[in-house]
Chain A
Amino acid sequence: MTSAFYLPLGLEEGLETTVQRFGPAHDALELHLPVVTADDLTRWIEVLREARETNLATLATSHIIRSLDKVAARFLDSRDPARREAIDSLSRSGRFTVPMIERALDDAFQPLVRGGITKWLVSELGSVHALDRPVAGPGGILRRAHGPEWMLQIYAGNVPALPVWPMLSALLLKAALLAKTSAREPLLAPLLARTIAEVDEKLGACLAVVWWKGGSADLDPVAIRLAPAVMVFGGDEALAGVSRHAARGAHVVLHGPKVSLAYVERRALRFAGLRALAARAAQDVSLYDQQGCLSPHAFYVERKGEVSPEKFTEALASALEAASADLPRGEVPAEDAARIQLLRAQARFEAAGLAAYAPTSVELMDPPGSRSVLGNVGIHGATKVVESSGSTSWTVILEDRARFEPGPAHRTVRVHGVDGPEDLARALRGSVRYVETLGLEASGPERARLAAVFTGIGIPRIAPVGRMQRPTPLGTHGGVRRLLPFATWSTVEAAPARSKPVRNAPARRRAPGRRASR
């Protein structure tokens, strides 16, 4: 039996629990879940607030970082039971295969070790000590950051490892945490909390991770109303619920549904680098089966490169076929497969129509294990479909014009020929709010120019193709930073200069007013 919750010592006593089966019928896990009542929630929140006061509020940030660094190292160590349990339990649901779960853990924890957490903190708060004491900031002003007393975090279960950075961000802000897991993935968050408690019981005392049915009228509002800070991942309805009940003045960050896209500049389209480019693109498409917001649903590929959008389509198809062996796809719900089949049929139908109006004699090499339906280059709709044979494993649809429409996921991707970034900007008009990341394949001044165009239309994150699924904690998510939205500040302004300048900080090697880096 697996415990799918984590409560600090003492709170588990007298707790009523139920058992739920999780995962495919033939290989289900029996999950031990607490029966949560509104009274429990208010009591737990009280206990968490006290625990934070005793254990966390005055703890030096360097101590927290050391402990979290150890936690990260454990999830990166293939012999560590925490990593092994994470891989075992996450793979049981069948939604993601083991190689993908390993990648998810690596990508979540690697940026944190070897000074990563410190860099993250400094990048947002200016100094690693910002939460410990007033430190010199720009303009000679001393600044001290405060995290919320506690945070409510509501996770989604669409991608593995989603709870990792949010949970750590609460502790880095010296905030206690009440986290609600997702029914689709209720396992990693409690395991992470347990591991944190094993490494550092002071931190562990400030965490509670439970599941209750989202949308429960008697539970959600109780937690949301009391929370001074809320971070929530979810669909429109979940977000609306949080907005409705959040306390006035609460720090609320809502992560709603989004997708990602990619853009390939013509100078990057060379036969010499095509296989490598396609392999990187296929990684971005394949990881987490397009269940997350970082997954590209379409590639906008410039015409007039050495490699045409059509050749890119074929190369991407071959690379997706290769990726389906290295990074096998998880189980696909029948509804989603039906949607993919309809999309393919529609694309074939469009391609056939175009072929009829301008018969083509183009012969193309098909990647092994695939079949391709050819059409001629036309104006509207799909001109070519390349798909895995005998399964919905992967699908690439070539369209001659740029447009934006998220696909049915599970490695279904469109390639659009474009003349320049304006074509994509036009296609995104009114829809930029749905875009999380733009993968950008371009180099030198072209990259800078295109990044200026795409950030100019409001795309929150630009990343190299092949690294779309590996965000850095130093960047943004959903257009906001990871710690800053929850921080408040005390500032100490410098006294006016008298005859002799007064130093406003303990004299160190650094001149006052210069930005401290640590």
Chain B
Amino acid sequence: MYLRTYLLQAERLLDWTERESRDSWEDDFQRFALGLFRYQSASIPAYHAYVEHLGIDAARLTDWHGIPPVPASAFKSHDLSAAPQGKEAAIFETSGTTISRPGRVRLGTTLLYEASLLPNARRHLLPDGARLPAIVFGPHAEETPHSSLWYMVDHVVKKEAKSGAWIVREGVPRWDLADEILEEAASTDQPVLLLGTTLLFMAYFERLASADRRFALPAGSRAMDTGGAKGIRAEFTRDEVRRGFATYLGIPDSHLVNEYGMAELGSQFYDDTLLAHVKRRARMEGKRIPPWVRTRVLDPETLREVPDGQQGILVHYDLANLDTPLAIQTEDLGTRVGNRLTIAGRLPAAEARGCSLAFEQFVEAERRMAPQRTEEPR
């Protein structure tokens, strides 16, 4: 039963990603989502209890809008997986956004995850079909087996890149190694693909600034940066990041692609920059919601769906989530216009909150006391 459901789903998704030039597949989405929901509510005990408690009859539901989302934080308090214990193909840890301990996303198989991530990465990072040497500003997946981000990056390198080099070794960023690799890349005509977290890139740029050093990477070089744990929750403005890539690596705005993802979701969201450049069209606002994902934007006060263009809480419905619930309520804010999603960056804290202990400060302080990790899993 399990295998059959999986294979069906994977087949559908693979098929879908192949014909993704059309963005709207409402009927298909409806059918697949409801099938997936029926499967998940029957085979994830904690989700089953929730669905039952809400009085929802999975067999009778006719509209995916009625699928109850689980709060992203529930991965920290509950086991939310249909995969049999001990037989996981991968266990990803979620970032500690609300409760300090991380949650666990247990996957019985990663094939569906891969089926979602690869065409998406290809479309946004390699729309010209280039096969490039990859330089990862992060650790190898083997060093961080519970990070969905580094799993994803690793998989992209394995399937799409000419070669791979990793800057973080044993949890430590090896900047000298980065210098060496980039120097070599800059001396050839071979463009490169950089993949990493915004934080690490910016830390490296700071170092280059103090050494008064910069590299001019060959034309066609490109970079994917990601907020790592929390989309674009940034200590930097997007402008600063863009300026950093242009100044220190010679990577223009058109070749810098920001990605947003979370361990609780099998699918990712990418900027349109490089794709627009290759297709010689104007860039579209925001990130693309893959056709096998729906994102609802809810009014933060009323939880009613808001019209396009209005900001609200993001709730994702992701068909690439097979073993874990497809509907996830986040605490991220954003706006949607059609299938474009803009995630609201949190401004750098303009001012301390005074004597009130902010929720996140507390969590932050607690986390700082926990053993250090260079890279947060997501």
Question: Which A residues, 227 to 251, have Cβ-Cβ distances below 8 Å to chain B?
Answer: 233-238
Which residues of B have CB within 8 Å of A337? 300-301, 313
Beyond A334-B300, A390-B302, whether A352 also contacts B50 by CB under 8 A is yes
Are B331 and A338 in touch, CB under 8 angstroms? yes
The segment out of B3-11, B198-206, B349-357 that lies at the interface is: B349-357
Question: Which A residues, 359 to 405, have Cβ-Cβ distances below 8 Å to chain B?
Answer: 380-381, 390-392, 405
Are A158 and B53 in touch, CB under 8 angstroms? no
Are B72 and A342 in touch, CB under 8 angstroms? yes
B358 CB contact (under 8 Å) in A182, A257, A392, A405: A257
CA distance A325 to B298 in the complex (A): 25
Beyond A346-B71, A346-B74, A392-B300, whether A356 also contacts B49 by CB under 8 A is yes
Sample of 27 A–B contacts (CB below 8 Å): A156-B351, A158-B354, A162-B355, A182-B351, A183-B350, A233-B354, A235-B353, A235-B361, A236-B352, A236-B365, A295-B356, A335-B331, A338-B331, A339-B98, A341-B300, A341-B329, A342-B98, A342-B331, A345-B70, A345-B71, A349-B71, A352-B49, A352-B50, A353-B50, A353-B78, A381-B77, A392-B300
Q: What is the interface of chain A, defined by CB distance below 8 A to chain B?
A: 155-159, 162, 182-184, 214, 233-238, 255-259, 290-293, 295, 332, 334-335, 337-339, 341-343, 345-346, 349-353, 355-357, 380-381, 390-392, 405-409, 434, 436, 478
> A256: nearest residue on chain B (CB-CB)?
B355
Q: What is the interface of chain B, defined by CB distance below 8 A to chain A?
A: 46, 48-50, 52-54, 69-74, 77-78, 98-99, 298, 300-303, 311-313, 329-333, 344, 346, 349-359, 361-362, 365
Whole-angstrom distance between the Cβ of A14 and the nearest chain B Cβ: 29
B77 CB contact (under 8 Å) in A155, A256, A346: A346
Which residues of A have CB within 8 Å of B78? 349-350, 353
> B362: nearest residue on chain A (CB-CB)?
A406
B359 CB contact (under 8 Å) in A183, A391, A392, A409: A409
Which residues of B have CB within 8 Å of A258? 355-357
Are B356 and A293 in touch, CB under 8 angstroms? yes
B331 CB contact (under 8 Å) in A159, A339, A380: A339
> B346: nearest residue on chain A (CB-CB)?
A335
Whole-angstrom distance between the Cβ of A326 and the nearest chain B Cβ: 20
Which residues of A have CB within 8 Å of B346? 335
A345 CB contact (under 8 Å) in B329, B361, B365: B329
> A293: nearest residue on chain B (CB-CB)?
B355
Which residues of A have CB within 8 Å of B354? 155-159, 162, 182, 233-235, 255, 257, 291-293
- Beyond the given A334-B311, A353-B50, A356-B49, please list 17 additional residue pairs across the A-B interface where CB-CB is below 8 A: A183-B350, A235-B349, A235-B354, A236-B352, A293-B356, A341-B300, A342-B331, A343-B73, A345-B69, A345-B329, A346-B73, A352-B50, A352-B54, A391-B302, A408-B359, A434-B357, A478-B355
Beyond A334-B300, A334-B311, whether A349 also contacts B50 by CB under 8 A is yes
Which residues of B have CB within 8 Å of A406? 357-359, 362
> B311: nearest residue on chain A (CB-CB)?
A334
> A478: nearest residue on chain B (CB-CB)?
B355
B356 CB contact (under 8 Å) in A290, A339, A405: A290
CA distance A109 to B361 in the complex (A): 31
Are B355 and A158 in touch, CB under 8 angstroms? yes
B355 CB contact (under 8 Å) in A156, A345, A349, A352: A156
> B369: nearest residue on chain A (CB-CB)?
A430
> A182: nearest residue on chain B (CB-CB)?
B351
CA distance A157 to B53 in the complex (A): 43
Whole-angstrom distance between the Cβ of A368 and the nearest chain B Cβ: 18
Are B72 and A291 in touch, CB under 8 angstroms? no
Whole-angstrom distance between the Cβ of A349 and the nearest chain B Cβ: 5
Which residues of B have CB within 8 Å of A182? 351, 354
Are B71 and A214 in touch, CB under 8 angstroms? no
Are B365 and A291 in touch, CB under 8 angstroms? no
CA distance A353 to B49 in the complex (A): 6
B71 CB contact (under 8 Å) in A237, A293, A342, A436: A342
CA distance A158 to B350 in the complex (A): 13
Which residues of B have CB within 8 Å of A350? 77-78
Whole-angstrom distance between the Cβ of A517 and the nearest chain B Cβ: 32
Are A349 and B70 in touch, CB under 8 angstroms? yes
> B313: nearest residue on chain A (CB-CB)?
A338
> A333: nearest residue on chain B (CB-CB)?
B300
Which residues of A have CB within 8 Å of B99? 405
Whole-angstrom distance between the Cβ of A25 and the nearest chain B Cβ: 14
CA distance A341 to B72 in the complex (A): 11
Are B351 and A339 in touch, CB under 8 angstroms? no
Beyond A335-B333, A391-B302, whether A259 also contacts B71 by CB under 8 A is no
Pairs of residues from A and B, 10 with the lowest C-beta to C-beta distance, nearest first: A156-B354, A235-B352, A356-B49, A158-B354, A337-B300, A352-B53, A293-B355, A345-B71, A257-B357, A234-B352
